[in-house]
């Protein structure tokens, strides 16, 4: 076996109480193994990386949700890129048509900026994507989904 790199990732999920939403922090570090001597110290390198991540996690504080931010202060997202996400229909759970209402998991790769924008917008205020195209908001008991619906 030839080890070329070591990746260590750790996360922490917390919910201070039932009235607040879940928060999550996740960090990942990568070490490149360049010679045999480093390989002999692999366990020490892993412990060093884990310790660094543990330090960061101990400093992580739950994010405080800001009041609604005026829309001109929010970053704009590319509707064409968001349309490429794996949106599913509500009834059949199959891929959505481009103009159809649907949902994705909040942690879908590529949806991070959309989730952040919805978070910044404030609870109960959907984010409009594209000129009069879709409204996006969180859904699910633990806000684990992003829903989109066509603007009427």
Query: Residue ranges of the domains in the chain?
Result: 5-59, 71-150
User: What CA–CA distance (Å, rounded) separates 77 from 110?
Assistant: 11
Range with the poorest average pLDDT among 12-16, 18-22, 126-130: 18-22
- Assessment of whether the complete model's pTM goes beyond 0.75: no
The residue to which tokens 């978070």 are assigned: 119
Kindly report the number of other CB atoms within 10 A of residue 138's CB atom.
19
Report the pLDDT value the prediction gives residue 36, as an integer from 0 to 100.
Answer: 64
Report the pLDDT value the prediction gives residue 89, as an integer from 0 to 100.
Answer: 93
Report the pLDDT value the prediction gives residue 147, as an integer from 0 to 100.
Answer: 94
Of 89, 3, 10, give the one whose Cα is nearest residue 47. 10
Q: Is 29 exposed, middle or buried (0-12, 13-18, 19+ CB in 10 A)?
A: middle
User: What CA–CA distance (Å, rounded) separates 144 from 81?
Assistant: 21
The DSSP annotation for 26-72 comes to: EEEEEEE--SHHHHHTHHHHHHHHHHHHHHHHHH--PPPPPPPPPGG
Q: What is Dmax (Cα atoms) for the chain?
A: 64
Residue 64's pLDDT band, with cuts at 50, 70 and 90, is: very low
Range with the poorest average pLDDT among 59-73, 105-119, 135-149: 59-73
User: What CA–CA distance (Å, rounded) separates 152 from 150?
Assistant: 6
Residues near 107 by beta carbon (within 8 Å), at least 6 away in sequence? 115, 144
């Amino acid at each position: 076996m030839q080890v070329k790199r070591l990746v260590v990732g750790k996360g922490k999920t917390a919910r201070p109480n039932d009235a607040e939403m879940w928060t999550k922090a996740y960090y990942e570090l990568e070490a490149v193994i360049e010679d045999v001597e480093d390989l002999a110290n692999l366990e020490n390198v892993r412990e060093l990386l884990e310790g660094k991540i543990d330090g960061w996690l101990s400093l992580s504080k739950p994010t405080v949700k800001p009041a609604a931010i005026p829309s001109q202060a929010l970053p704009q997202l590319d509707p064409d890129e968001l349309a490429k996400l794996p949106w599913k229909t509500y009834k059949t759970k199959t891929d959505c048509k481009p103009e159809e209402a649907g949902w994705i998991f909040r942690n879908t790769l590529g949806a991070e900026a959309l989730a952040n924008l919805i978070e910044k917008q404030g609870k109960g205020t959907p984010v409009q994507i594209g000129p009069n195209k879709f409204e996006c908001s969180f859904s699910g008991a633990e806000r684990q989904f992003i829903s989109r619906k066509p603007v009427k």
